[in-house]
Amino acid sequence: MLLALVIVPLVLGAVAFATPSPKLRPWLVPLGAVAHAALTLYFLMQPAAAALGGWLVLDPLGKVVLGFVSLLFLICAFYVPGYLALRPGRKTSIFCAALLAFLGTMSLMILSHHLGLMWVAIESATLSSAPLLYFNRNQRSLEATWKYLLIGSVGIALALFGSFFLAYSALKGGMGSSLLFEDLVHDAPHLSIPWLHVAFVILLVGYGTKMGLAPMHTWKPDAYGEAPGLVGALLAGGLTNCAFLAILRFVQICGAAGEGAFARHLLVVMGLVSMAVAGIFMAGQRDYKRMLAYSSVEHMGILVFGIGIGGLGTFGALLHLVNNGLGKGLLFLSAGNIHRAFGSKRTEDVTGALRLAPASAALFLAGFFAITGSPPFGPFMSEFTILNAAVTGGRFATAALFLLMLAIVFIGMGATVLRVVQGEPSDIAKARGYKERFLTVGPAVVFLVLVVLMGVYIPSPVSGLLHKAAASLELQ
């Protein structure tokens, strides 16, 4: 039955592509999201499930990522009909079909417990999301799509080489040729350590490219800047988390081989570098959608930094996976609304958003405070947990650098956000006559409610899933 998580979205995507009615077609996306969410909820309540001889497995780590990706897509799906109603004349058959195919391929990647199948799945997710980036069909979106595919292809090629090296480390250790993660973890003490080190570095660079870690992040500013807001939300909270899951699988293997310290040291360094790069490029940023791309680079750094710290930091990183995704959903959807209101992404043209689109601007401002780790929002709790893990572990210099990067990002991002929401809108912007609608504002409100909830109270089922997933990493 695990296959239903993949098949149902793909079948509904084909139906959406073939549906002739432009009014009915957008509603197939929420239908697919509801069906996927119902299946996901069913499997989350069951013990670990497997299919296809162990090639597909839903383990504690997979449950966390699958549960969040399904929730993220469900909320974004109800934004689709309202958004497409504002884009008359656009051909929506490919857009709706690609959205559902993206959900299906991300689900396949999360469930994959075979090294080769996981590689195929994440590349399929990349290809299915490419038409979403090109939806605006202009020169900038075409350039962004090609950069996304080109840099992603380099990353996935490196991931393939890393997979070969990992398989070769098994052969050098006298093991069989199984590429199932359970077998690799079980037999990890017999892996050839030099080849394992090489494999992990290359895999970290390869899947780190998909995740958007610096300095492999160069596709993000263009892709997030030119994609529709809901697509940016799905990339920032969906595809990047799938790539993060892939890295966690290799951390498990290194830990089981007794090389956890090697992997975690690299993750700490990579995390701090990503945060530093994001802070540098966020300062003085005049494109508020590109600013969100650099915010994503920062938070991908926070994720791997937390895993690198280990202990309580592992739980904090997994909690931040959820909190960051909710915050990014809030920011990208509200930023998309502001873009529709002003027709521009530049702060020279976008001022006074609180007057022209008050609901979306207020949500955008709240999203800024949430994503920069201000209380009482969820990211504050997860970032504080990671910081606490670093301090209690005696890593005071590392903790100080972590705090410094957070402060730099807060200042740089705040300057751009305040330019957007404050002031008086131009006469040109007022003449556009933009009116906010429930279907485009409502989903962002849901994200806001959830990100506040995660800051004041973590539901016990969510906490239980996170603790089990963290334990599966720490036991290695």
Q: Which domain holds residue 445?
A: 259-476
Tell me whether residue 272 is in a domain.
yes
Of 417, 412, 405, nearest to 282 by C-alpha is 412
Work out the pLDDT band at 173, boundaries 50, 70, 90: confident
Work out the pLDDT band at 53, boundaries 50, 70, 90: confident
Work out the pLDDT band at 171, boundaries 50, 70, 90: confident
Tell me whether residue 99 is in a domain.
no
Tell me whether residue 151 is in a domain.
no
Q: What is the pLDDT of residue 107?
A: 97
Residue type, 341: A
Q: What is the pLDDT of residue 170?
A: 86
Over residues 299-317, the pLDDT tens digits come to 999 999 999 999 999 999 9
Round the average pLDDT of the chain to a whole number and report it. 93
Work out the pLDDT band at 475, boundaries 50, 70, 90: low
Tell me whether residue 90 is in a domain.
no
Q: Which residues of 436-455 are buried (b: 16+ CB within 10 A; e: fewer)?
A: eeebbbebbbbbbebbbbbb
Tell me whether residue 294 is in a domain.
yes
Q: Is the Cβ–Cβ distance between 302 and 318 less than 8 Å?
A: no
Tell me whether residue 105 is in a domain.
no
Judge whether residue 476 has pLDDT over 50: no
Tell me whether residue 54 is in a domain.
no
Of 152, 80, 68, 163, nearest to 117 by C-alpha is 163
Provide mean pLDDT across the span 228-250.
Answer: 95
Please indicate whether residue 377 or residue 47 has the higher confidence score (pLDDT).
377
Over residues 343-363, the pLDDT tens digits come to 989 989 999 999 999 999 999
Tell me whether residue 150 is in a domain.
no
By percentage, how much of the chain surpasses pLDDT 70? 99
Number of structural domains (the chain) is 1
Beta bridge partners of 114: 180
Torsions phi, psi for 298 (to 5 deg): -60, -45
